[in-house]
Amino acid sequence: MAVLAGDKLDIGKLNALPQPMFVRLAGSQSWWPVETIDVQTGLCRMDVCGKLDRFHFSSVMQIRDLEGGLHDPDDFYVEEHRDA
């Protein structure tokens, strides 16, 4: 998929990861399953014991894909939003 005007995150790179993906948030040692990511705002939802909780992509410290590969969240920002 192509990056659209206004997107902060590259949907093509995120979708290329073996799914599902898990995130480690700032201040946590736990891995959380990601339900949705809004590529325009960076708002995400994760499954916490069967309930959905919100967080912002900027609080992600590390991403783990289904195959156990670890990824730097900064690699998924669209270039003009990388340091925003």
Is domain 1-66 given the CATH code 2.30.30 in the classification? Answer: yes
For the chain, the residue count is: 84
pLDDT tens readout for residues 13-41: 999 999 999 999 999 999 999 999 999 99
Q: Where are the alpha helices (DSSP H) in the chain?
A: 11-16
Rounded mean pLDDT of the chain?
A: 93
Residues 41-61, mean pLDDT to the nearest whole number = 95
Residues 52-74, mean pLDDT to the nearest whole number = 97
Cα within 13 Å of Cα(72), Cβ side = 4
Taking the alpha carbons of 3, 13, 45, 26 in that order, is the dihedral positive or negative?
Answer: negative
| Residue 34 burial (CB count, 10 A) | 21
Q: In the prediction, which pLDDT does 68 show?
A: 97
